[in-house]
Amino acid sequence: MDKNTVKILLATTLIAVSAGYATAQERGGDRMSFEELDVDGSGEITAEDLTALRDNRFAELDTNGDGSISQEEFVAGAQARSEERATRMFERLDRDGDGSLSRDVIENQRRGGGGERMISRFDEDNSGGISAEEFEEARSMMQERRKGGDRGHGKRRN
């Protein structure tokens, strides 16, 4: 296999996994249901079912049906998924259903509101701001947590 073919296969595998995760997230869970994985409805999840799932996801991206995914198809698929996620996020935030979001809603969508939480978390010397040293320490801590899968949402170390 040449390098481009390998790159395309890797990219489509990543897309398939991401699409599966995004689909599961849409349903409010982290996992696909048994029924979704049992593509042929046989009552068992088989290697053929999993192959069918990958084939279906590939076909969704291969919009012109030529058996390969062009950069344009790849980008279009990513943009469509991004648009779907953004639409769902907007709908969750638009609690009153008026079709618009106030500044307060946007600024307070995360736990703890705006930047005040970040400052209080990382202002080690209680100066009311974050120094360059505190910033670098916070950045290092977040990188360590991301490596461990915590995504930086845990408690600050002292």
- Name the residue with higher pLDDT: 86 or 24: 86
Q: What would the two tokens of residue 31 be?
A: 């996992």
Q: What is the pLDDT of residues 14-71, one digit of tens each?
A: 565 555 545 544 444 447 888 989 999 999 999 999 999 999 989 999 999 999 999 9
d(CA 95, CA 48) in angstroms, rounded, equals 42
119-153: burial string, b at 16+ Cβ within 10 Å, e else: eebbeeeeeeebeeebeebbeebeeeeeeeeeeee
Lowest-confidence region among 39-53, 84-98, 125-139, 142-156: 142-156
